Structure 1
Amino acid sequence: MHAPKDIPDMNINSTNGAIEQSEKGKPIQAASEPSQAGLLQLVICVTGIYASFLSWGVLQEAITTTYYPVHPPTSAVPNPQTERFTFSLVLNTIQSFFAVITGSMYLYFSTPRGSSTPSIFPTSRILIPLVLVSLSTSLASPFGYASLAHIDYVTFTLAKSCKLLPVMFLHLTIFQKRYPLYKYGVILLLTIGVATFTLHHPGTAKKSSGSKGPNASSLFGLFLLFINLLLDGLTNTTQDHIFTSPKLYGKFSGPQMMVAQNFISTILTSAYLVIMPHLSTSILPLLPLPIPPSQTSELSSAIAFLSRHPQATKDVVAFAACGAIGQLFIFYTLAHFSSLLLVTVTLTRKMLTMLLSVVWFGHQLSGGQWVGVGLVFGGIGAEAWVQRKEKEKKLREKAKEGKSL
């Protein structure tokens, strides 16, 4: 889905939500060193992240899975036809627009007094990779939302926690990068976990009774989600390239990325929504769209849908606001506290999002599915633990070098 994508990847090198460090060992962030902050600030940051993104997850599921009656029930038609919000690009545009506003405010107020606000486009060279990031995030969302027509939200959330798979795949195939052995072990755990969860899904069990439809639908949903994750991986690798190439693009901070990426995304998706209905119907079928193109305008259809269902309008606005506000807490936490703290918060937030979905929407998980959940989050937790140990080891080595000088 569109960022915040299970905690935004706009200012950090992300694998499964774990924050890696730049080559110099410092967080890729605007502040050169995290400032000292008090316990109250820590509590506010953690509470803000949990509240924003747990609400964001609940609203996301409500928006994409709730069926609304086309008209109120009557005596003549007690069970009217229902409809669901399927306008992913409109949702993308609203969310990115909100993120531009909040990100711009954060960038302005976080700039020291007497200094000019950093430009979101410090060099002309940075435009191409930023457009690529915006395109990948904008294209990823329709695939993610389309997958929800074939898999439930719990499966979606679990699979979205496995961002390490596409990131490593792209680094291995494109950049020929090698990884430590433990990361391949994490990949194995994640793959087995998702496979176990999917195979024990109630819909998959129907395959044994001769009904192949639900199983085929689930596989197609996972295929769409894999494309979504692959585009997420492209987003991450391109962001990494921007952040780790200051000689090419100049110094670029997380808040600058947040504003620039969402600004370009808003322009791209808005242009698509306005121009697409005017294209010839002979061109539309040739476009590689995850959802079959319609001759009707998605923008006008979405506006009509929201006007018919005020509750959906409230959910969409709240969804965009929660995502944008949550990103601010992420950036503030990374700037004032250890990135390892953000790793822990991110991991536990994802687990709580899935559990909240189970409780809030009444999903039932089998024993085999809980085993799959344990394998996935166990692998993510193990990765975070190993990274923590590696960082502690590097800090000890630096301390020894400092004493010897």
Structure 2
Amino acid sequence: MSSFTQRFCPALLSLLLPSVVAAQEEPSLLEGWRDMWLFRFLVNMLGYSTIIIPGYLLIRYLKRSNYMDTGSGCLYRIVKSCVFGHEAKTGLLDSGSVTSRNEGDSGSSLRQALRLIFCAAGLQASYLTWGVLQERVMTRSYGASATDEEGERFKDSQFLVFMNRILALTVSGLWCFLFKQPHHGTPMYKYSFASLSNIMSSWCQYEALKYISFPTQVLAKASKVIPVMLMGKMVSQKSYEYWEYLTAALISVGVSMFLLSSPADKHLPTRVTTFSGVVILGGYVVFDSFTSNWQDNLFKYKMSSVQMMFGVNLFSCLFTVFSLLEQGAFFDSVAFMARHSEFAFHAVLLSVCSACGQLFIFYTINQFGAAVFTIIMTLRQAFAILLSCFLYGHAVSAVGGVGVAVVFLALFLRVYARSRMKSGRRQAPPQKV
């Protein structure tokens, strides 16, 4: 690493995180700044820029030139698919969504009930296992023994993101190959926006567990309704009903009650560094809000959910593998896997749960709609908090418990109000002209 970087990074950190730097001893300053989350964040973004900047310049050149008028052959078709696409929009979110739901409605009640149980069990099993493993990997040591009680902790969150995305890319690619999909219309490069924000939201999700408890993270994720609404107004110019603002306010009150009353966790750093966890969670909520709104815009093109999954994960794999190789972290992580077989098993199982969870999401929404899916996932968040407290001994105060109840009450009210509003629209008779 260059001498300029060694001088510049500590100075930058002293400006942005003065409380953290001041808390360290002077001799250990240069030894510890490489492990700070802000430095890793900046290095990751620098790695992604080595793909983003040349890609942006190439796309801009192709659009300004007359390549579409003069090109031909296989390369021409690849460039057209990646840069230009088929700009016609259909207004359909998923060509298979309506068909699948209608087919499901025509089945017997018993068959529908069994299908619902299958979807709920699949979602709960996938994401509850994923949440438990996520906390285990990021907050506990590997290789602890009588001679080495502390063991060794895995630190590179980006490698876990890469592991999740490479399996999801494989699964979605096989699905697109085996089953007929709608004709793809959107330029491929547009997936890169959702991919970058999705990578950073996942990185923040893993990284935050080094500073805050898993129940705190789950509750903060449940409250992302608020920034999603704000991002929706900015990105998609959406308007919202009064009950949506009311439930968002209830969620913020419940989260505040939980955060302000939570006791200190023995597995976490001091409250000075816990502030870093709050900042990282804020980054997760912002990135994740952008991802959902950008994907919502992309669905205006005729594509299936699996095609969306493939496109986003394709760019995610490119971004993460280039960044890991540039930092030298890829082979370090592989070496960690070789040293600790338990970690290798956990990392692979994390990826399997993530990929299976995405497939269950698509299937559940196709069969039962977004309202049923939201109820199942809301229950999953409540179960995740209880399971984490049981397995890892997190303490929740009485006020914090009330805050959790307020959050999930607001979420259920939100689902109920949305379903009532949709049913009212369907039953409303057409107006006479």
TM-score (norm 2): 0.72
- What's 1:260 paired with? 311
User: CA 1:191–1:242 in structure 2 vs 1: closer, same or farther (change >3 Å)?
Assistant: same
Q: CA shift at 1:81, angstroms?
A: 4.0
Structure 2 distance, partners of 1:42, 1:185, is: 30
Alignment partners' CA distance in 2, 1:27 and 1:381 = 25
User: Which amino acid in 2 is paired with 1:226?
Assistant: G
Cα deviation, residue 195, structure 1:
1.3
- 2:191 is matched with which residue? 130
Letter in 2 for 1:61: E
- Select 2:146's aligned residue among 46, 69, 73: 73
Tell me the equivalent position of 1:18: none
Match in the other structure for 1:280: none
Deviation at 1:351, TM superposition (A): 1.2
Q: Is residue 47 from structure 1 mapped to residue 47 from structure 2 by the alignment?
A: no
Read off the aligned partner of 2:403 and give its amino acid letter. G
* Counterpart in the other structure of 1:64: 138
SS in 2 for 1:234: helix
Q: CA deviation at 1:162?
A: 1.6
- Which residue in 2 is equivalent to 1:4? none
Distance in 1 (CA, whole Å) between partners of 2:235 and 2:311 is 25
Change beyond 3 A, Cα 1:158–1:327:
same
Which of residues 281, 301, 311 is equivalent to 1:225? 281
Residue 67 of structure 1 aligns to a residue whose secondary structure is: coil
Q: Match for 1:41: what amino acid?
A: R
Alpha-carbon contact 1:193-1:373 (below 8 Å) kept: yes
Paired letter, 1:170? M
Q: In the alignment, what sits opposite 1:189? A: 250
1:106 and 2:175 matched? yes
Which residue in 2 is equivalent to 1:145?
A: 206
TM-superposed deviation, 1:189: 1.3
Q: Which amino acid aligns with 2:165?
A: S
One-letter amino acid matched to 1:339: A
Q: Which residue of 1 aligns with 2:419?
A: 388
Q: Match for residue 32 of structure 1?
A: 98
Paired amino acid for 1:268: F
CA deviations 1:145-183 (Å, max 9, x no partner) are: 222221111101111112212211222345554321222
For the residues of structure 1 that align with 2:129 and 2:257, how far apart are their CA atoms? 28
| Cα gap change, 1:229 to 1:255, in 2 (>3 Å) | same
Q: Confirm or deny: 8 A CA contact 1:131 1:264 kept in the other structure.
A: yes
When residues 138 and 53 of structure 1 are mapped into structure 2, their CA distance, relative to the original with a 3 A threshold, is: same
Q: Deviations over 1:323-363 (max 9, x none)?
A: 11121122112222233221221111111111111112222
Deviations 1:36-88 (A, max 9, x none): 25233332222111111111111111111111246x433xxxx4443212211
Distance 2:360 2:238 in 1: 32
Deviation at 1:118, TM superposition (A): 4.4
The sequence identity of aligned pairs, in percent, is 28
1:375 aligns with: 406
For residues 361 and 203 of structure 1, the distance between their equivalents in structure 2, rounded to whole angstroms, comes to 14
Structure 1: gaps of 5 or more residues: 1-22, 112-116, 205-212, 278-296
CA drift of 1:264 comes to 1.3
Contact 1:150 1:218 in 2 (8 A): yes
The residue that corresponds to 1:304 in the other structure is 335
Counterparts of 2:227 and 2:353 in 1: how far apart (Å)?
Answer: 27
Given that 2:258 and 2:404 are in contact with CA atoms closer than 8 Å, whether structure 1 keeps it comes out as: yes
Give the aligned residue type for 1:233.
S
Bigger CA drift: 94-103 or 33-42? 33-42
Is contact 2:192-2:312 (8 Å) kept? yes
Query: Which residue is equivalent to 1:180?
Result: 241
Contact 1:196-1:372 within 8 A present in 2 as well: yes
SS at match of 2:264: helix
Structure 1: which amino acid aligns with 2:323? Y
Contact 1:61 1:153 in 2 (8 A): yes
In the other structure, the counterpart of 1:97 is 166
Match of 1:350 in 2: 381
Deviation at residue 27 of structure 1 after TM alignment: 6.2
Matched position secondary structure for 1:202: coil
The superposition leaves residues 222-251 of structure 1 with CA deviations (integer Å, 9 ceiling, x where unpaired) of 11100111000110111111113x3xxxx0
Q: Which has the higher helix share?
A: 2
Q: Paired residue for 1:83?
A: 152
Give the equivalent residue in structure 1 for 2:270: 214
Offset from partner CA, 1:81-129 (integer Å, 9 cap, x none) = 4321221111111101111122223334443xxxxx446xx24x53332
Q: Distance in 2 between matches of 1:171 and 1:337?
A: 24
* Aligned residue in 2 for 1:290: none
- 1:273 aligned onto 2:324: yes
Superposed CA deviations along residues 380-403 of structure 1, whole A, max 9, x for unmatched, are: 111111101111111111xx339x
After superposition, what is the alpha-carbon deviation per residue over 1:272-306, rounded to whole angstroms, capped at 9, x for unaligned?
A: 111x23xxxxxxxxxxxxxxxxxxx2112211211
Q: Match for 1:73: what amino acid?
A: A
CA 378–317 in structure 1, closer or farther in 2 if over 3 Å, else same: same
TM-score, normalization by structure 1:
0.76
Structure 2 CA distance for partners of 1:106 and 1:40, relative to 1, 3 Å: farther
Pairing 1:335–2:396 present: no
* Corresponding letter in the other structure for 1:31: S
Aligned to 2:216: 155
* Unpaired runs of at least 5, structure 2: 1-89
> How many equivalent pairs are there?
333
